[in-house]
Amino acid sequence: MRISTIEVDVPVAVSVTVTTNTLSADLSDGRTISVPLAWFPRLLHATRKERDNWRLIGKGYGIHWEDLDEDISVENLLLGQASGESQASLEKWLSARRRRLTKRSSERRKTRHAG
């Protein structure tokens, strides 16, 4: 029995837009793919500034958000795959995030009152 192999070229991302509800990637083959932001809880919980701080990685085969420690591949977007992060991992990340944000807020208040 002979099995044929089909090779599929995955396009790369050339631009990314994140709104309050949607992650969209413009692809090198002219398509734009949009998925619900709810698929990626870290992006969903992010501020606008954090969402906008992305960069392409792997020559455009992936998207990275440094502030959120989030990586999403173009291939997974095309396959319709949401984040595979476990609830326990997300809760740990959210807890650390709350501590970090609380600390920053407290430091800003101290700086304002010291001046």
Write down the pLDDT at residue 72. 97
pLDDT given at position 104: 73
Among 7-21, 33-47, 64-78, the minimum mean pLDDT is found in 7-21
Q: What is the pTM of this model?
A: 0.82
Residue 29 region by backbone torsions, left for phi larger than 0, else alpha for psi between -120 and 50, else beta: alpha
Residue 43 to residues 11, 68, 89, Cα–Cα distance (Å): 23, 7, 14
Residues in the chain: 115
**100-107 mean pLDDT:** 77
Domain 10-83, what fold?
Answer: NE0471 N-terminal domain-like (3.30.2020)
More confident: 103 or 73: 73
